[in-house]
Amino acid sequence: MAFIKLNDLEVEVEDGTNVVEAARQHGIEVPHYCYHPGLSRPANCRMCLVEPYVFFPPAGAIVPDRQLATGCTTVLRTAPPDRKLDGKYDFIVQTDSPRVKKAREDILEFLLVHHPLDCPVCDQAGECDLQDFSYRHGHDKSRYLEVKNVPPKKDLGPDVLLYSTRCIVCTRCIRFCDEVSGSGELGLIHRGSHDEIDIPRNHGGAPLQLLDNKLAGNVVDICPVGALISKDFLFKSRPWFMKKTNSICAGCSVGCNITLEYKEDGVYRLKPRFHGEINQHWMCDDGRLGYHYVNSDDRLQLPLKRVDGELTPTHWADALALITEKLLGTEAADVAPEDIVVIGSAQGTNEDNYVLQQFAHDVLKTTQVGLFGQLPGEEHKFPQFTIEADKNPNTAGARTILGAANGNVVLEGDALWERVAGAKVVYLVSGGPERPLEAAESAALEKVDFLVVQDVLPSDVTQLADVVLPGTTFAEKDGTFTNSTGWVQRIRKTIDAPGEARVDWEITQQLAKQLGGEMNYHFAGEIALAIAENVPGYGEATHQKVGDEGVKLT
């Protein structure tokens, strides 16, 4: 640990911390643009200048250094005993001396030389570092009278637009493409004050390569100004009108930490949230843009039952009564517990699956428990990021919880479909984006007498069902997901489910109650407590302990 004098504070920081981070840890803002904790540090924006103090032998005193230093590249380390300042400090630095404040004002004036005053129509307004730092650290007026450069607006790729006029050439996006995605599509063209970010183009301006790697959306997040803009979010909403909730991306089994931004009428965007051991500062575009199914107009809003071969909307009581009748009524004598297969979802939370497994074990008395989920995609590896092939957020958790709690064996793949083909009643929980069925899967499901499906969108699966119960997506419920590396992380309810759709574990519990089961959970956290008690390894995974950081399974 290095002992630092930071303004008036005496603080200890880890060796190797830079001044910007050290100040941030102690609530002091050192404005910066080019510095990003996840990227290399060129120190080109000059915004984070701070005033280090040095020992000046002729005066025999500690004085401000002749030059200001960039906070991002000034690394704090323990000094040898004979080099301590004042006999105890490893470093003395001022972040708000008059000299520093003057420097910031002047740098901002330079950065704003070619910047247009188009905040009223700029997507970034409200979450713009240039806006914020100008307000807090800048001049109140510009002395620049010359004509401003007006470089053109450019289309860089499938989801990214560049408003070149707003760019302050911090080069974060270029470094991201060089270092994190490793694809190097971005660079600077021209020179000096004519510098522009661009993709490779021929002399006529037609693109030779597009910014179309699967991490491209991150350049929009790290852009400190409104230069790089996501087409998906363009002109959709002002940032301050959206509510923000910490959640987990449901796009694959990596489990990237995200901030889900939403209004009453739906999800507006997903932004990555830092987690040092899982996703760092990043997320992929598949996850980022994969939320649209949540807002879809096709979402299942009412339970459906099959009448004369057609799926027809009905009400909850009717739908649940139908299932109860099948399992308790006159025909029920034909259905033995081993004729029933209950299939949990890798899209569902640990809580959903725990209630489902309790339902299977305690109420239906069946040991036939399976696991269903999205079809696997492709794995993509980048220098500093991996997108996993398993497109479910909770395969690991669902597998453990469906299986471990009561010693059941969880059926998957061919074994599952073989078993399904011979079953009379199948209770299948799906969820997530529309899931196409493979030939063997639909053949097996077609053979089932009575198929109950919980899902969020009409799909191949619901097409084969006798009763469809509308469930919820990751944006509409509380719970936990377990990612592929064993991190249990929380998702939170943001928007209301459409129509009469209900949280999956509530549906299962309601049905269990009607069938005489004894289950009485009121909220997801309560189920998590039961999981912590009964599932090996999940002892620490209560909602309270999981929090925003997650808990790693032991």
Partner 1 sequence: MSDEIIQIETPFQFTEENRLEFDKLMGRYPVKEAAMLPTLHLAQKQEGYISPAVMRYVAELLEVSLMKVKDVVTFYPMFFEEPVGQYVIRVCHTLPCALRDCKVVLEHLKTKLNTDVAAETDLAKGTTSDGRFTLMKVECLASCDVAPVIMINDDLHRNLTPEKVDEILDNLE
Q: Contact residues for partner 1 (CB under 8 A)?
A: 154-158, 178, 183-191, 198-203, 206-210
CB 430 within 8 A of CB 352: no
Q: Which is nearer to partner 1, 67 or 202 (CB)?
A: 202
CA torsion through residues 96, 102, 107, 113, sign = positive
Question: Shortest Cβ distance from residue 210 to partner 1 (Å)?
Answer: 6
CA dist 506 → 183, 426, 477, 511 (Å): 45, 18, 11, 9
Q: Which is nearer to partner 1, 184 or 422 (CB)?
A: 184
Question: Shortest Cβ distance from residue 145 to partner 1 (Å)?
Answer: 24
CA dist 420 → 21, 368, 432 (Å): 56, 9, 21
Give the integer Cα–Cα distance in Å for 7 and 495.
44
CA dist 450 → 309, 435, 437, 462, 510 (Å): 13, 20, 18, 12, 19
Question: Shortest Cβ distance from residue 186 to partner 1 (Å)?
Answer: 6
Q: Which is nearer to partner 1, 199 or 387 (CB)?
A: 199
Give the integer Cα–Cα distance in Å for 360 and 402.
9
Q: 514 is written with which tokens? A: 């009607």
Q: Which amino acid is at 454?
A: Q
Question: Shortest Cβ distance from residue 282 to partner 1 (Å)?
Answer: 20
State the distance between the two ends of the chain, measured CA to CA, in whole angstroms. Answer: 29
- Candidates 250, 220, 266; CA nearest to 123 is 220
Question: Shortest Cβ distance from residue 116 to partner 1 (Å)?
Answer: 22
Q: Which is nearer to partner 1, 193 or 463 (CB)?
A: 193
Question: Shortest Cβ distance from residue 198 to partner 1 (Å)?
Answer: 8
Question: Shortest Cβ distance from residue 157 to partner 1 (Å)?
Answer: 8
- The backbone region for 278, taken as left when phi is positive above 0, alpha when psi lies in -120 to 50, beta otherwise, is alpha
Residue spans of beta strands (DSSP E) within 14-114: 17-18, 49-56, 61-64, 69-70, 75-76, 91-94
Q: Which is nearer to partner 1, 91 or 176 (CB)?
A: 176
Question: Shortest Cβ distance from residue 204 to partner 1 (Å)?
Answer: 8
Q: Which is nearer to partner 1, 177 or 469 (CB)?
A: 177
Q: Which is nearer to partner 1, 106 or 212 (CB)?
A: 212
Q: Which is nearer to partner 1, 228 or 248 (CB)?
A: 228
Q: Which is nearer to partner 1, 155 or 277 (CB)?
A: 155
Q: What share of the chain is helix, strand, coil (3-state, %, to 5)?
A: 30, 25, 50
Q: Which residues contact 417 (CB under 8 A, 6 or more apart)?
A: 440, 441, 443, 444
Q: Which amino acid is at 240?
A: W
Question: Shortest Cβ distance from residue 212 to partner 1 (Å)?
Answer: 8
Backbone angles phi, psi at 205, to 5 degrees: 95, 5
Give the integer Cα–Cα distance in Å for 227 and 211.
15
In Å, how far from its chain's centre is CA 111?
Answer: 32
